[in-house]
Amino acid sequence: MEYERKIVMIVDDNMTNLTMGKEMLKELYKVYPVPSAKIMFDLLKNITPDMILLDIEMPEVNGYEAIKWLKKHPQWADIPVIFLTSKADEGSELEGLVLGANDYVSKPFSAPLLLKRIENQLVTRAQKLELIEFNTNLNQMVQKKTAQVFKLQNAVLSTVADLVEFRDDVTGGHVSRTQKYMKILLDTLNEEKVYSEEVSGWDMDYLLPSAQLHDVGKIAISDLILNKPGKLTFDEFEIIKTHAEIGAEIIRTIENNSDEHSFLRHARIIAGTHHERWDGSGYPNGLSGLDIPLEGRLMAIADVYDALVSERPYKDKFTTDEANDIVLNERGTHFDPALVDMFTKVADKFAEVAKNL
């Protein structure tokens, strides 16, 4: 296989320098002698060199102006540039290096020195390109592995959520619908920039799947109570209420036995606080107002709305209009007023989800 020679452009207004430079390099490189920066700009539209040897003192467009132009254009910004100069002062050399030059070669050329400088820069560039390719491949591998872990994580969450819902005969589809309600509310918060500082720090890829575990604590509640065909007694309801604290503790146990992960933190918060009320009369901890984590305040609306529009052994289902009115009436008592205001903007979207009951 024939070795593909690297392309070197020599840009100099002096024809003697162009001729000498080509003679020095032609055995090793494919050389393009270019008499001005303007002509170089035209050639670059069709030819991408591996190296540019650029004279500083040229009419119309000098070397400093030319390298500024190169660095402004991403397709050419990474081409190594060696300045050719008859100047020997440090100030000129420093100026070129600041503008992005890779090296300096003084005129008249020393063939061995010029060849070595070019070789060094091309080796450096090749190593840089290899590193970029390696990092790209590594990032792709990491992304693929992350996607696999994410898929596995969601499968585990869905399986656990299905297990809980399977035990609770009266709330079929509740988990998937509340997740959809949560997404609608979160999208609206982002659009309206409500609680934006807090929400901006959340990873929705983890938050929304974690909402599936909001009732995971029901796994510890007796089937006799969970699936009772009639209204619960006071004592039975007190037992049901423990599912919030139990759910948070279950998830906390998982956290303690694994590396901390945001989806577990969100899941624990939602499980433990979605029955708290804005006025402090909820459970398990009687939190009120902004002391209730935002995740829990969001799930409170999603959870109650779905319960209202769903049929239960102890009640008929409400219409979506009736459910809307109840949520509005609970503004500032059960629910965060700001979130209820967001709910009013998307009540029709909630109703669309409820149609699939």
Both structure tokens of 201? 């720090």
Per-residue pLDDT tens digits for 21-76: 898 898 899 999 999 999 999 999 999 999 999 988 888 899 899 999 999 998 88
Specify whether the CB–CB gap between 11 and 41 falls below 8 A. no
Specify whether the CB–CB gap between 147 and 102 falls below 8 A. no
Identify the DSSP state of 332.
T
Per-residue pLDDT tens digits for 205-260: 778 888 888 888 888 888 788 777 778 889 988 998 999 999 999 888 888 877 65
Rounded to whole angstroms, the Cα distance separating 79 from 38 reads 17
Q: What is the DSSP string of 31-72?
A: EEEES-HHHHHHHTTT---SEEEEESS-SSS-HHHHHHHHHH
**Alpha carbon 232 to its chain's center:** 45
Torsion of CA 152, 153, 154, 156, to 10 degrees: 90
Q: Confidence class of residue 159 from pLDDT cuts 50, 70 and 90?
A: low
> Among 164-168, 271-275, 285-289, which is the least confidently predicted range?
164-168
**How far apart, in Å, do the first and last CA atoms of the chain sit?**
68
Per-residue pLDDT tens digits for 178-207: 999 999 999 999 999 999 989 988 888 778
Percentage, residues of the chain above pLDDT 70: 87
Question: Residue 100 pLDDT more than 70?
Answer: yes
pLDDT of residue 357: 64
Instruction: Give the closest residue to 292 by CA, choosing from 283, 20, 355.
Output: 283
Question: Residue 169 pLDDT more than 80?
Answer: no
Per-residue pLDDT tens digits for 119-144: 888 888 888 878 878 887 777 777 77
Specify whether the CB–CB gap between 196 and 167 falls below 8 A. no
Q: What is the DSSP string of 95-156?
A: HHHHHT--EEEESSP-HHHHHHHHHHHHHHHHHHHHHHHHHHHHHHHHHHHHHHHHHHHHHH
Helix (H) or strand (E) segment spanning residue 8: strand 7-11
| Rounded mean pLDDT, 333-337 | 97
Whats the size of the chain, residue-wise?
357
Instruction: Give the closest residue to 172 by CA, choosing from 312, 267, 301, 270.
Output: 312
pLDDT of residue 92: 66
Question: Residue 172 pLDDT more than 60?
Answer: no
- Give Cβ neighbours of residue 35 (< 8 Å, ≥ 6 apart): 11, 12, 13, 15, 18
**Whole-number average pLDDT of the chain:** 85
Distances (CA, A) of 310 to 180, 274, 304: 15, 18, 10
Both structure tokens of 243? 């599912």
Total Cβ atoms within 10 A of residue 357: 13
Both structure tokens of 154? 């969601």
Both structure tokens of 92? 């000129």
| Rounded mean pLDDT, 155-172 | 61
pLDDT of residue 147: 65
In b/e form, how buried is each residue of 147-185, taking b as 16+ CB within 10 angstroms? eeeeeebbeebbebbeebbeebeebeebbbbbbbbbbbb
| Rounded mean pLDDT, 166-173 | 57
Phi and psi dihedrals of 328, rounded to 5? -65, -40
Instruction: Give the closest residue to 351 by CA, choosing from 327, 333, 316.
Output: 327
Specify whether the CB–CB gap between 65 and 19 falls below 8 A. no
Q: Are β-strands 103-106 and 51-55 bridged in parallel, bridged antiparallel, or unpaired?
A: unpaired
| Rounded mean pLDDT, 100-123 | 84
Specify whether the CB–CB gap between 31 and 83 falls below 8 A. no
- Give Cβ neighbours of residue 154 (< 8 Å, ≥ 6 apart): 209
Rounded to whole angstroms, the Cα distance separating 165 from 212 reads 10
pLDDT of residue 344: 96
Identify the DSSP state of 85.
E
Per-residue pLDDT tens digits for 52-62: 999 888 888 99
> Which amino acid is residue 150, in one-letter code?
F
Specify whether the CB–CB gap between 238 and 225 falls below 8 A. no
